[in-house]
Structure 1
Amino acid sequence: MLALSPFQPAPRVPFVAATQPVGVEPCRIYGSVYLETDPRRKNYCFGTLYIEAEDTFADVLVYKETNKLFADKAGLWYITDSPSFADYSLFVTPQRNLADFAIYFTKVRSFAGCRQQ
């Protein structure tokens, strides 16, 4: 009843700085990754990616590691068979305009990394 009284001043709310909307940062993704292709499970994924045919337009050049322990930098991914054992679960879309970022699988480990500016 006292909270609805017009004679009481409004309660003070601590100042909270407005946050900027942040999207997926592909340069921070490394480790074990599960690539989801089922559109029904898209909402359970961390982000959406598109696999480029050429490395020119890719945001991240990805090297597929054979051991999870060596996937410790940006662009070094260990592809898992199960989403339960993955650090990140990413949805693979066939349409570039629906993706958060694009990747290209490189065959050379030293080329792997982020190309985003």
Structure 2
Amino acid sequence: MILIISFWFSLLPYLAAPQPAAPSPVTVASKDICRVYGTVYLERDPRYKNTASYTVYLGDEEAFASMVVYRESNKLFADGTAIWHITNKKAFADHVLYVTDNRNFADFTVHFTNVRSYAACRP
């Protein structure tokens, strides 16, 4: 009996040793701004800034914009790069973007155009 107990006590350090954890996969956030198209909600409330996928600055100059966006009135036709249907309901949006007043805090700059063929992405 003593032999069995001593055997279990000799195995105890091996049983209680913590197992090495498997390395967690590294996820890299994709910051491809050219994939932002479709239904877009523009968040302006700073309390919900962390729920947005990107921070944008709405600029007046087309020359300095990272993306020239055409506003599509029908969401079914907002199917190309830099073609957005702006929605007023966050739940219906494909992308939520936080609008900032400071250009330095923005991930990219947006300029809206009235001509669909001028819509372009300049990463």
TM range (shorter): 0.7 to 0.9
Identify unmatched segments of 5+ residues in structure 2: 1-11
Give, as a single letter, the amino acid of the residue that structure 1 aligns with 2:106: A
1:40 to 40, 47, 65: 47
CA drift of 1:107 comes to 1.1
Paired residues, what number? 110
CA drift of 1:4 comes to 2.4
1:83 to 74, 90, 104: 90
Which piece of structure 1 moves more, 22-31 or 56-65?
A: 22-31
**Structure with max Cα Rg:** 2
Q: Does 1:104 align with 2:117?
A: no
> Structure 1 CA distance, aligned partners of 2:21 and 2:46?
46
Identify unmatched segments of 5+ residues in structure 1: none
Q: Could you tell me the percent identity over the aligned residues?
A: 48
Which residue pairs with 2:32 in the alignment? 25
Give, as a single letter, the amino acid of the residue that structure 2 aligns with 1:71: A
What is the TM-score normalised by the length of structure 2?
Answer: 0.79
* Deviant stretches of 4+, over 3 Å: 10-13, 15-19
> Structure 2 CA distance, aligned partners of 1:29 and 1:66?
17
Which residue pairs with 1:93 in the alignment? 100
What is the TM-score normalised by the length of structure 1?
Answer: 0.82
CA deviation digits over 1:24-50, x for unaligned, max 9? 221001000000100001111111101
